[in-house]
Amino acid sequence: GERIPLTLIHPPGLVRDGRAPTLLYGYGAFGRPAAHGFSFATLAWLKSGGVYAIAHTRGGSEEGENWHEAAKGAKRSVAHQDFCDCAEWLIAERYCSADMLGIRGASAGGLLVATAFLQRPDLFGAAICDAAPTDMVRFPKFTLGSAWIDEFGDPGDPAALQVILQWSPLHNVQSDRSYPPILISTGARDEVVAPLHSMKFAAALQNTPSPLVLLHVKENAGHSVANSRDQRRQLVVDQHVFLWSCLAKAGQSSG
């Protein structure tokens, strides 16, 4: 029954016919709001004719600490549902169709995207997961993972483990299912989210009939926020080329 805030940006005069390439971003964890402000990457997306949306799911702090607590620990799936609900709203309001909807998230936002992508592949045309933790059964064993136990639950606790197994991305890839195109990226020197998360997730998806599963390992790069300006620019270029290629093909098929 909650109303989920959704920031929506699009070029003037947009015709809502369900065919606009749309990018939905989310974070939804650690009591951190999904930021919206000036971004050259967002501006480039808009100038190319795209729609940009930010899902302010529970798990963030947009509506205060209660908003964070509502998707914390055993209630983590609330954030996943909020994200999917925002996607359904965009489709129902004819900003885009499922085939024309791309999703993107980094770090904990990448976890949000990976989980929604697996739970509702029918909602999305393409996905980008950057530096995302995906093995949520073993995450405390690597880098800073033990600091995330309070946020996502303790897989060492049998009761919490059963809840985590219901949504942990690595453990919910169905080998006989075809998923939309996905670009998974990580920094080879990421000391926040170990690169093995992205590599194992990509390997699991590459063992499915999915049409396109790409893994991009950025050499000499750390976590998303630690990369150089040139690395960030190249990452944006790679992600936009991937998204436009996937969504353009979908648009040609539906057109």
* Residues with catalytic roles: 107, 190, 223
What is the C-alpha end-to-end distance of the chain, expressed in Å?
36
Tokens of 116: 């929604």
Secondary structure E strands in the chain: 6-9, 22-26, 51-55, 101-106, 126-130, 182-187, 213-218
Sign of the CA dihedral with 168 first, then 171, 177, and 181 last = positive
Q: How many residues are recorded in the chain?
A: 255
The token pair at 254 is: 């539906």
Give the contacts of 124 (CB within 8 A, at least 6 positions apart): 87, 98, 101, 102, 103, 116, 117, 180
User: Three-class SS of residue 178?
Assistant: coil
Q: If we measure between CA atoms, which residue out of 180, 6, 172 comes closest to residue 87?
A: 6
What's the Cα-to-Cα distance from 143 to each of 14, 148, 189, rounded to whole Å? 45, 11, 11
Percentage helix, strand, coil, to 5, in the chain?
A: 45, 15, 40
Of 110, 118, 98, give the one whose Cα is nearest residue 250.
98
